[in-house]
Amino acid sequence: EAQVTQNPRYLITVTGKKLTVTCSQNMNHEYMSWYRQDPGLGLRQIYYSMNVEVTDKGDVPEGYKVSRKEKRNFPLILESPSPNQTSLYFCASSPQTSTDTQYFGPGTRLTVL
């Protein structure tokens, strides 16, 4: 089944404890992206990747890192999480650019205490 998977789905952590949210897609898509969703703010893009080893900042990159060593994986790293990073995170992929239909993962709900 064609899909985008994210792990973990739920995570409660404490300030400053490094964490990684994994994202994987099995559709051979070149484009991948991370978003955060907050009430009243819609989706805001954190980082995106047009292809392997190519990543760019989105609208809200501060406090996040990403890497794209393989086409299928695009992990999101929070080196030192803070409470303002408590949010719902979505990974998405599409065949080429963001103008293609994007396929979203199920989301990761992160709480930073």
Partner 1 sequence: AQSVAQPEDQVNVAEGNPLTVKCTYSVSGNPYLFWYVQYPNRGLQFLLKYITGDNLVKGSYGFEAEFNKSQTSFHLKKPSALVSDSALYFCAVRDPHSNYQLIWGAGTKLIIKP
Kindly state whether residue 53 participates in binding partner 1, applying the rule CB under 8 A.
Answer: no
- Report yes or no: 8 and 21 within 8 Å, Cβ to Cβ: yes
User: In the chain, what is the greatest distance between 2 CA atoms, to the nearest angstrom?
Assistant: 37
Radius of gyration of the chain measured on its C-alpha atoms: 13
For partner 1, which stretch binds (CB under 8 A), given 15-23, 61-69, 71-79, 98-106?
A: 98-106
Nearer of residues 69 and 99 to partner 1, judged by Cβ: 99
Nearer of residues 9 and 18 to partner 1, judged by Cβ: 9
Count of CB atoms situated within 10 Å of the CB of 82: 11
Nearer of residues 14 and 54 to partner 1, judged by Cβ: 54
- Report yes or no: 23 and 32 within 8 Å, Cβ to Cβ: yes
Task: Point out which residues bind partner 1 (CB under 8 A).
Answer: 4, 33, 40-45, 48, 56, 58, 90, 92, 97-99, 101-107
